[in-house]
Structure 1
Amino acid sequence: MKSYDLTISQKRAVRTDPSCHGWCYGLPPGISSAQWPLDPANGYPLQHGFTLLLPEEYRCHGPDVVAFSFFASSIDHNDGGPTVKAPGIRPAMGGAEAPDNPELKLFWEAEQRAHPRLSRMEDGLGIAYAVIMLTRAEFDGPFCAPPILIANRYRDALEPPAWLTIGGAASYWQFGSSYRWVRDTFGEKPANDPIENRAIHWTPRACDPNAGRIPYDKFLHDPTDYVHPECAITEEDGKTVFHDPEWTRDHKPNHIGGTMRPSQWVTQVSIYYIEFEEYFGGFNFGGGNAQLDFQNMIFDWSCG
């Protein structure tokens, strides 16, 4: 088993290129607009963060399921918690029966059309996330346009997210272009276009003793054979300096499996997980990073 580093190109994904293993921002592939997951806080479509083709040994849902698309509440609807102005939508979407109210019934009906491999998650602040596992045909399929929005007094109480008009890439640039890591991600201002994306490429890590091992937190979980990347501490010019182990030197912050470098605690996940930063799709993790176990559909993040 290997772990894999993930890099983001400053160019759009060329889907016919064998080195293209997915993309950040832009649109998901192979699903229908009717299957696009909605945000239970407000009824708007969740923002597509990234679509990732998995290496063969990480296809834990069977050989026919080769990739996934990850969705989240839009960054302009997430300021330390969802901006909720439509309290009837969440219970309507999760209800066993259709509501009598026709405007709320639309959200219930949308959830009945959900993709058969849709999984929903929510963080401790009530922010919504979703994963759709994809077959090869779906991964190679056409980009999906967001659903057409019909006027609705519940959803329309909140301004629509910017990405619906200008795309996730331009929306994230608009939110954080003053940050170096945002500028480094794009290279230049991305086009105002919902299809605008950035290609993802994965490569095996040359040295990672934790490939195929379950991470654990020393203070929270039972120990496994996982090797913690202990830092050496020295005093240099009156300052405390932390030195990462040599074997972690070339590890990228975005990766599939292997050694986890969380901003705070180690999330309890299986070996089938991805760790990613805010710019890997345009999220608000308080300057931190996130972990997604795509086998058990466990998601968590922590502030930087």
Structure 2
Amino acid sequence: MTESYFGTIGEPTFEVSPDGGFTAYNLLFEGTDGQIWSYPYPSEGSLVDADADGEPAAHSVPAGRIGPIGPGITGEQWPRDPRTGLPMLHAITLWLPEPYRRRGPDLAGIALFQGVGEGPEPIERTDETDPFIADLRRHRPHPEQILLTDILGCHFAIIWLTADELSRCGTPPADCRRDGEHRVYLGDPNAWDHDHPEMLVRLTVRRDDPNVGIAPVDIFGADTNSSCAPYTDPFGDDDYHEWADRLQANNHLGGTLFPDQLVPDGLTPFYLDLVEISGMNIGSGSLQYDLESGVFDWSCS
């Protein structure tokens, strides 16, 4: 089994909202030094006090990982970028609380991967002596892989995972490139050039969010006659409301969305919002994937 600093991560027992209703969750990130952070980039102001009873870290549970170690899939199943053939960068593997398991109870979580950017040319697949081409031909997509394409034509992948796959670790196939071949621009995401550290992902209840259980809407284009539950505007006269200011910039499952541009059409209450994940290249913006509808989008300011 592939080694991980944090070992295997069994199925968590997730805390639920104190009122027993629908629950949204924030993601926290634990480093190998045991410190817990609001963001996966340890920085001043993002350190969370894990021992303070009122702090979210005190109620958080281990639920996944970011970094080069992926879920328990085979090297042949590791997603490949369709244009370059390079193995995609592993962004996050995450156990999902039961209400978010929208593909059924047997698929208990997901892993998200990102391919290279829009610059590299499509790979030539005709050199029979190239070990990279031989390795690429052994690729067999995971049966639950969903290939995603953004408006730039760049590729991402979601894999829905079983509890067994979530509990185990996996890595991409070994780097078999010959010197100087199949290289991409510095910073283009791929698994073989990933040097970001592994971190444990923890989930904690997203408290005092009035939009928990409500599908995000674009306030400026909202249908005021809609029969759906009203979505609370996070903006006041000049800035965010106080409750919203505390919630923005968190990676989270459900609740209020703070998009860099417009709210994507088709989001449901069951969506994942990633603001900053080590290694990814989304222009310092945010990414949404809806676990119910399959809507996918990312944008930057």
| TM-score relative to the length of structure 1 | 0.70
- Is contact 1:12-1:198 (8 Å) kept? no
Q: Could you tell me which residue of structure 1 aligns to residue 27 of structure 2?
A: 6
- Is contact 1:21-1:52 (8 Å) kept? yes
Q: Could you tell me which residue of structure 1 aligns to residue 63 of structure 2?
A: 21
- Is contact 1:31-1:138 (8 Å) kept? yes
Q: Deviations along 1:206-254, whole A, 9 cap, x unmatched?
A: 2222222111224567554241334223xxxxxxx52x22333432521
Q: Secondary structure at the match of 1:20?
A: strand
> 2: CA distance between counterparts of 1:117 and 1:29?
13
> 2: CA distance between counterparts of 1:3 and 1:138?
24
Q: Secondary structure at the match of 1:132?
A: strand
Q: In 2 relative to 1, CA 85–213 (structure 1 residues): closer, same or farther, beyond 3 Å?
A: same
In the alignment, which of 139, 146, 153 is matched to residue 126 of structure 1? 153
In the alignment, which of 282, 292, 296 is matched to residue 295 of structure 1? 292
Q: Name the one with the larger helix percent.
A: 1
Aligned residue runs from structure 1 range 63-82, under 5 A: 63-73=105-115, 77-78=116-117, 82=118
Q: In 2 relative to 1, CA 12–109 (structure 1 residues): closer, same or farther, beyond 3 Å?
A: farther
In the alignment, which of 85, 106, 119 is matched to residue 121 of structure 2? 85
Q: Could you tell me which residue of structure 2 aligns to residue 245 of structure 1?
A: 241
Q: Structure 1 residue 159: deviation in Å?
A: 6.6
Amino acid at match of 1:38: R
Amino acid at match of 1:225: A
Q: Please say if 1:227 is aligned against 2:237.
A: no
> 1: CA distance between counterparts of 2:145 and 2:275?
23
After superposition, the CA RMSD in angstroms is 3.2
- Is contact 2:211-2:255 (8 Å) kept? yes
Amino acid at match of 1:262: P
Q: Deviations along 1:256-293, whole A, 9 cap, x unmatched?
A: 01111111111221221111113x24222222211111
> 1: CA distance between counterparts of 2:178 and 2:185?
12
| TM-score relative to the length of structure 2 | 0.71
> 2: CA distance between counterparts of 1:220 and 1:110?
48
- Is contact 2:282-2:298 (8 Å) kept? yes
Q: In 2 relative to 1, CA 152–297 (structure 1 residues): closer, same or farther, beyond 3 Å?
A: farther
In structure 1, stretches of 5+ residues that fail to align are: 90-99, 170-195, 234-240
* Count of aligned pairs between the two proteins: 248
Q: Could you tell me which residue of structure 1 aligns to residue 273 of structure 2?
A: 275
Q: Structure 1 residue 26: deviation in Å?
A: 2.3
- Is contact 2:189-2:279 (8 Å) kept? no
- Is contact 2:88-2:190 (8 Å) kept? no
Q: Structure 1 residue 168: deviation in Å?
A: 4.1
Q: Please say if 1:144 is aligned against 2:170.
A: yes
> 1: CA distance between counterparts of 2:246 and 2:217?
22
Q: Could you tell me which residue of structure 2 aligns to residue 197 of structure 1?
A: 198
In structure 2, stretches of 5+ residues that fail to align are: 1-21, 35-59
Q: Could you tell me which residue of structure 2 aligns to residue 50 of structure 1?
A: 92
- Is contact 1:264-1:302 (8 Å) kept? yes
Q: Structure 1 residue 43: deviation in Å?
A: 0.7
- Is contact 1:12-1:197 (8 Å) kept? no
Amino acid at match of 1:204: V
> 1: CA distance between counterparts of 2:193 and 2:83?
22
> 2: CA distance between counterparts of 1:136 and 1:107?
28
Q: Structure 1 residue 140: deviation in Å?
A: 0.6
Aligned residue runs from structure 1 range 143-222, under 5 A: 143-151=169-177, 156=182, 158=184, 164=191, 167-169=194-196, 196-218=197-219
Identity %: 29
Q: Could you tell me which residue of structure 1 aligns to residue 143 of structure 2?
A: 116
